[in-house]
Structure 1
Amino acid sequence: MTRTRRWITGAAAAVVVLLAGLALLAHLLLPNDQAFATEIATRFEKASGIGLRVGAAHWALRPTPVVLLDDVATAQEPPITVRRIVARPQLAGLLRRRVAVDVVEIDGAVLPRTSVRAFRGRWQGDDPAASVLAGAWSLADVPVARLRLRDITWIDRRGIALAYDADIAFDAHWRPREAEVSRPGVAPPARLRLEREGGEDRWRTLIDVGGGTWNGESELQAPDGGPLRFTARLEPKNVDIDALVRSFGRHSAVEGKLSGQTSVDTEGENLSALIGKLHTRTRFTVAPATLDGFDLSKAISTAGFSRGGRTPLEQLSGTLDTQASDDGVVLRYTGLRARSGVLTASGSATVVNRRLDGEAAIDIVDGVVGVPLKLGGTLDAPQLSLTSGALTGAAVGSAVLPGVGTAIGARIGQQMEKMFGGGDAKKPGRPASSAKPR
């Protein structure tokens, strides 16, 4: 046997011995499948206070290290469920009892909003992963290099279920290096992409939605000893409003393509707090636009007692503020201004849980004669009506002079109501169906 052959044979024997040693070490460090599933459930409950059922668990070192969890569910009603979790850890990390995972794949998860919210404030420490692993394993600088999510369904407070896919590559401290989140099967595409700029906490932000774009830049500030702060500056361009809201299972009362400027800001101690306090402001213009649900011309001719219809607009503009809250997202529209032929309208409105509350003035001649109207109903079925004071004035104006007299009378009636403390200052006006035009 030549020296070379002896060297190869010795090297091969050394590899066999090494693999045998690794197998023995893995057997000593890692439990069997059943014990492994039990250990995961126990640590999860200890860290969160909420039970976990793991239908099946499996780990293997060959041909590459892998951990599989099937049919996972929390002990809640309704439960958070996951069809399958696959983690591909690095072998060197396993030998040092350190979590260093190349990729985690989560498939077929269902996340009811109420069940997810139950975890707020329950984790022991700031990092849920560290809490689950406490006392046995430690986290690498980049615990998970890549996270892939497929068919992840979020169920909101109204029971609307929306599925998402995501692919995120991480740098240290859980900072996304690049990320993509999308609504699968939606056309035109609804997709968010993030691209980190160097090693800074700033990301190029690219959003495709409604056949247009909503691009810009976002930034995370994490001062020592202070709360996290997330801000973004985005520019919507040619976003079809109806296609946008349909992408998320909703219906819009406004049709047209939106452009403008959006600012995003939020502050909190962790990711959950950032999401829970999210605030946005969008200054927008839609030209041309269509109002679906009421007809401004009929609102004038019937003194506000119109229901249904459509109004084409040359332009609609204003500012939309959104604020996350425990009762859902609150939408506030201010500085609304619309033009349709010789009519102009201005007003403001608030939307909570799709219920509409606001006021508007429709001018026959721009800024000269305004018919005051109350906005009510829902975004799916908006309603226009007059307050009782304006309604009385409209009746008097109609008796004196039909048409324009009705509008002038309504305006006078509204002002008299304000001067003498009318009864509807704090409650909605009469619904459109409860009275007949005079």
Structure 2
Amino acid sequence: MKHPVRRWLIGIAAVLVLGAGVLVLVVRSKLPSDDEVAAKIAEGFEKRFGVPLKVGSAHWALLPTPMLVLSDVATGQPRPITLKRVSLQLQLAPLLQRVIALDEVEVDSLVLPRASVRAFRGKGPKPEEAKQGGNVIALPAPWTLAPVPLERVRWRDVVWIDRRDIPLAYDGEVAFDPEWRPRQLRLERAGPTPPAQPARLRLDRQPGQDRWRTRIDVGGGTWNGVTRFEVLPTGKLRVSAELEPRQVDIEGLVQAFDRRTSLAGKVSGQTTLTAQADTAEDLGSLLRSLHTRTVFTVQPATLTRLDVAKAVTTAGISRGGSTQLDQLTGTLDTQGTEDGVVMRYTNLKARSGVLTASGNLKLFNRKLDGEIAVDIVDGVVGVPLKIGGTMSDPELSLTGGALTGAAIGSAVLPGVGTAIGARVGQQVEKMFGGGEAPKGADKKAESKPVPRRAAPAASRH
């Protein structure tokens, strides 16, 4: 019986080997050559987007897993979008039917200059194509992309170059559920010189729901909460989130994105976020519509490039210096636009000892525009200050009304203005931690009593 058993085993093995060989031959007969793949992808890309594409090389691999690898890809633009390498791991059964279903996509070293990316705005898949699983990427005919979303995307060293030519690199990955719902997402700042304090976003989907547990580590603190996805009756996608910043170091936060700030301290509060897009694939539209609102508290806080005391006491433009605050509160609204993000600070309130101040500020394209009113001398005098300049060179100055009022000792009311000016100088220096008041300032202020009615001359503007 041994010989028949052995012959059966040898026969089965021969059939399996022959079957595998036939399968490879069949699959190979259906696949174009490497050069044809590169040419077809470049041709389809230009036809779809109107932008030339150069594919350095393309390679198909059938074993051990069907895979397509593209290398040295670049768009034909003045400042091209470049991609060192992208690999696509495919499922074999759909592949035999000329349908591409992807288990995994890996992206390595993708550089995205902002101006070049804008050339593709409005040229992505139409909403009806997205619903039907339309080709988001150009594929050589008659190949099609399966309606089932890909399982996972990983990326390393994806660099975004913004309007100021600042490159920011990111690593991450996302795993999908059906209907392009992210099951898990991880995104973090990367690069040759990563920030000392990591900046990382993680999303985890709650089973069967369009809700994601959201965890953000940045600036040595956290910004955690819940994110929701909704499909509106109009068919648009809406993203919303409720987050809680806790002890986030402001300087660490902005430094993680190669930015600078004029405010130091740790912020806590409440944040709401909303954004809308026509389809889940229209990431650019989603980001441009992003609106956030944060009610915050920074305690203690330091204005690292502004000296409020100097602005008041010198009655001129003040640049540089610093101001210590016990607490700063307010509301920050951000809104994406075609030309950048507009940041509006409202209901700003600062406290430093017996000092109180309030105001509003707008920040757009690094330019500052706002006003604050500093209440000093036991609330009798309110000094209005104008905030201007840029983020790198902010400045404070007295408003036109203050320059002509009694608050700075302009002697509109003989004697009274001088007295108030002396008290202003003494009190501001004391409250903001400045030097001692000039000798005799108290005597000058006390020698001429200040009527309470003088306050309106220095009222806030």
TM-score (norm 2): 0.85
Match of 1:114 in 2: 115
Other structure's SS at 2:348 match: strand
**1:14-93 aligned within 5 A:** 14-93=15-94
**Farther off after superposition, 329-338 or 90-99:** 90-99
Cα gap change, 1:65/1:131 in structure 2, threshold over 3 Å: closer, same or farther?
A: closer
Structure 2 residue 287 is matched with structure 1 residue 287: no
2:143 to 129, 137, 142: 137
Query: Residue 313 of structure 1 corresponds to which residue in structure 2?
Result: 325
- 1:342-421 alignment runs, 5 A limit: 342-365=354-377, 367-393=379-405, 394=408, 395-397=410-412, 400=415, 401-402=417-418, 404-405=420-421, 412=457
Distance in 1, matches of 2:313 and 2:454, equals 13
> Is the CA contact 1:65–1:88 (under 8 Å) kept in the aligned structure 2?
yes
For residues 456 and 387 of structure 2, the distance between their equivalents in structure 1, rounded to whole angstroms, comes to 16
Question: Could you tell me how far 1:64 is from its partner in structure 2?
Answer: 2.0
Q: How many residues align?
A: 416
In structure 2, the residue matched to 1:232 is 241
Alpha-carbon separation, structure 2, partners of 1:384 and 1:200: 50
Identical positions, percent? 53
CA-to-aligned-CA distance 1:230-281 (integer Å, 9 cap, x gap) = 1000000000000000000001100000000000012221333221110000
Tell me which residue corresponds to 1:430: none
Alpha-carbon distance between aligned partners in 1 of 2:137 and 2:257, rounded to the nearest angstrom: 34
Q: Report what 2:14 is aligned to.
A: 13
User: What's 1:432 paired with?
Assistant: none
Q: 2:201 aligned with 1:192, yes or no?
A: yes
Aligned counterpart in structure 2 of residue 276 of structure 1, from 277, 288, 291? 288
Q: Is the 8 A contact 1:371 1:411 kept in 2?
A: no
1:399-428 deviation line (CA, Å, top 9, x unaligned): 63336248698962777xx8xxxxxxxxxx
Structure 2, unaligned runs of 5 or more = 425-452
Aligned-partner SS, 1:233: strand
Report what 2:444 is aligned to: none
Deviation at 1:341, TM superposition (A): 2.3
What is residue 426 of structure 1 aligned with on the other side? none
Distance across 2 between alignment mates of 1:130 and 1:248 = 30
SS of structure 2 residue aligned to 1:274:
helix
Q: Which blocks of at least 5 consecutive residues in structure 1 are unaligned?
A: 419-438
Single out whichever of 338-347 and 253-262 deviates more from structure 2: 338-347
Instruction: Output one character per residue of 1:32-89: Cα deviation in whole Å (capped at 9) or x when no partner.
Output: 1111100111111122221111011111102221211110011112111000011111
203-212 or 296-305: bigger deviation: 296-305
Farther-moved stretch of structure 1 (93-102 vs 33-42): 93-102
Say whether the 8 Å CA contact 1:337–1:347 is kept in structure 2: yes
Q: Is the 8 A contact 2:381 2:455 kept in 1?
A: no
Shift of 1:306: 2.3
Larger deviation, residues 290-299 vs 145-154: 290-299
How far has the Cα of 1:31 moved from its partner?
A: 1.2
Question: d(CA) in 2 for partners of 1:248 and 1:134?
Answer: 39
Write out per-residue CA displacement over residues 65-124 of structure 1, whole angstroms, 9 at most, x where no aligned residue: 121111001111211100001111111121122222121110011001111121111135
| 1:335 partner SS | strand
Structure-2 separation of matches of 1:25 and 1:396: 98
**RMSD over aligned Cα, in angstroms?**
2.2
**Structure 2 residue 184 is the aligned partner of structure 1 residue 178:** yes
Counterpart in the other structure of 1:434: none
Deviations 1:279-298 (A, max 9, x none): 00000000001001111222
The offset of 1:129, in angstroms, is 3.6
Q: Could you tell me how far apart the structure 2 residues matched to 1:135 and 1:398 are?
A: 86
Q: 1:245 aligns with which of 251, 254, 258?
A: 254
**Aligned AA for 2:174?**
I
